[in-house]
Structure 1
């Protein structure tokens, strides 16, 4: 009788364990909502660096276009990092039980994705202008620097950079800044991609099969 009762108890305990639905993750163990601290810090540093380099480029000549001095990309990244810090300060609730947590997480995911696209766009612009400036032939005309892509072509496109005292800043310094922007924005794109992936993984990686295994209630599911 003792062995029969023991076997019956073991069987019931196994069924109980199998029927139990997965409990919400403990807030002390779940660090998904805590992750933006490092990511947001990197985004802030990279955003400040991109903005600073862009203004250094603008100091060479006020004739540079907005796509050549992507300070706007750095400012947007700083705003994304601030939202990441806000997300870090919000108390974690499983399954986004508070509307504030859901809204901030959604905005952070959207802005990270937008930051990824913007960073790739800046890399494309910087790469184009870097190769273009390396092939320019420039000469000083008063307080301006006049550059052409092909000196032998009389109708070649001409670029006039105003308030430039030395044309070497156009042919040497400016391409260096474009190269720095390429590396900084590649790093920004990588960080934004990591942040967006973690947000997506937190939301959609864990799911339930919808199969009921020896459960008396239709609300108890097997986790996969």
Structure 2
């Protein structure tokens, strides 16, 4: 009489179920939504900055922060690249690890840049809010204290109508502050999620031995 065979998989032959990537549907992977937001905000910031530059060539680079929008677009492109890289746990794919590291670093840089832009735009907004301006030929001359003969004046070249400075430019400054605040929040969220995805388990090791007696070896 032949011995009866036990149920399939008995005797320790069952293999543990491998962890699967939970991001299975299009649009569910982490970088996609944040990358889309970053791309839209970056484009909006750059477009508004270029519109600001058309008001007067006298505006400084820090007053037209197209560089902040371009930086965020680069971060968004990295997010799209990371989306299309096949996910492997524990960064077994070197390209995945490099892109994730660059994405985290650039998100941090984008956060700092957005905060700087908010500071610059807020400063110039407060200045223009106290300006007294008048047209002189094709320029607009503005000062904070019109009664002071030696007060500092701000000249905006090729501006025939000072309302472009006291109204339109102020609106652009306010819009830039709102856009860059949104950028800072998105970059902070992106960097936090990327960090948490990699370091949410504080002890990293390999399990060795039987399930009843577990030994860990640091890696």
| Range of TM-score over shorter length | 0.7 to 0.9
Partner of 1:97: 92
Cα distance in 2 between the residues matched to 1:118 and 1:23: 44
Aligned length: 200
Partner of 1:122: 117
Gaps spanning 5+ residues in structure 1: where?
A: 1-12, 17-21
Bigger relative contact order, structure 1 or 2, given CA contacts below 8 A and separation 6+?
1
Q: State the 1:25 CA deviation.
A: 2.9
Q: State the 1:214 CA deviation.
A: 3.2
Give CA deviations for 1:3-46 in whole Å, capped at 9, x if unaligned: xxxxxxxxxx9xx9xxxxx9763124589x92110000000000
Partner of 2:181: 186
TM-score by length of 1: 0.82
Corresponding position: 1:215 with 2:208? no
Equivalent position to 1:53, from 48, 55, 67: 48
Q: Secondary structure at the match of 1:163?
A: coil
Give CA deviations for 1:35-78 in whole Å, capped at 9, x if unaligned: 11000000000000000110111111011000000001001111
Q: State the 1:207 CA deviation.
A: 3.6
Q: Is the 8 A contact 1:77 1:115 kept in 2?
A: yes
Structure 1 residue ranges, 4+ long, deviating more than 6 angstroms after superposition: 209-213
Q: Is the 8 A contact 2:132 2:144 kept in 1?
A: yes
TM-score by length of 2: 0.84
Partner of 1:6: none
Partner of 1:3: none
Change in Cα spacing, 1:29 to 1:127, as seen in structure 2 (3 Å) is: closer
Range with bigger deviation, 197-206 or 108-117: 197-206
Please report the RMSD computed on the Cα atoms of aligned residues, expressed in angstroms.
2.5
Cα distance in 2 between the residues matched to 1:58 and 1:162: 12
Range with bigger deviation, 206-215 or 96-105: 206-215
